[in-house]
Amino acid sequence: MGGAAQHPARQARRLGPRGLTVPELPEVEVVRAGLHPAVDGATVARVEVLDERSLRRHDGPAEDFVARLTGARLGAPARRGKFLWVPFDSADDADLALVIHLGMSGQVLLREPEAPRDRLTRILLELDQPSHGPVRVDFVDQRIFGSMALDRLVPVLDDPLERIPTQVAHIARDLVDPLFDDDGFLRALAKKHTGIKRALLDQTLVSGIGNIYADEALWAARIHYAQPARTLTRPRARTLLAELRLVLGRALAEGGTSFDSTYVNVNGASGYFSRRLHSYGREGEPCHRCERPIVRERFMNRSSFFCARCQPLRGA
């Protein structure tokens, strides 16, 4: 039997979540892709809620979550930005989906049904997958900022054939979405008086970009994080868009970014993009272009990393 037909949890490793790596688009997409063979076409045999705090985005008590999810047949997982959801695949519940948000430290792990539980497991799903047999999905979360919830699917305004959960309807498309409107994004950017990094983190403008990939793309485009977005010329803004897509694509190819075991894929493996970072997390290390030390400055209760020589604040 080939690799594609192996049990989804067979290669899982146990890694206890420690430290902090906030999942962004590449990390959530890696989880979505890893979940696909396990959940698509599967039936939920059993649900166990071990910590009701992980249902904070669910409209109802834990008993409601368990009752409505148990017995449901699931479809192919989908994603927008940092949100992940699994639609129900049955005529009776075609407008429902299981919405998963990883928060700051959430993990969705595939396990053999008899595997020991991680002590930080908050929600447990036992699935009957026709192609692979029983498989367990563990939602593990150290800081309990992530969540699972059942939500209603609604049509998307710019594509009536597409449906998304109501919890996701307020965020913009992301840069790997084929329907992302580049020109619309550039027009909106030209009206922003905020710094360019703050604009990139605005999920109503473009979703899925967080601290890591904003810093990396701004370094690649040679743009200071505080440069007012409206001051970017159209060519520089297009260059930034291209660099954002390149950074996200490279991170996806490396399985995302892991500095610790907080972020892992569904099999418990870390991502390796941290080895290719040019600015984020490299305070005091030489810039890969000019060898000046990378600078770290406080930004929105977090940090920005940049090269003062390669990324000057123009007009300041």
Q: Which residues, 6 or more positions from 114, have their beta carbon under 8 angstroms from its beta carbon?
A: none
Per the residue annotation, which of 13, 187, 292, 302 is the catalytic one?
302
> One of 32, 68, 80, 82 is an active-site residue; which one?
82
Judge whether 82 counts as a catalytic residue: yes
Calpha distance 229→237 (Å, rounded): 9
Q: Does the active-site annotation cover 23?
A: yes
Catalytic annotation, pick one of 8, 24, 111, 126: 24
Catalytic annotation, pick one of 8, 23, 37, 87: 23
Of 218, 208, 198, the C-alpha closest to 278 is 218
Tell me the catalytic residues. Answer: 23-24, 82, 302
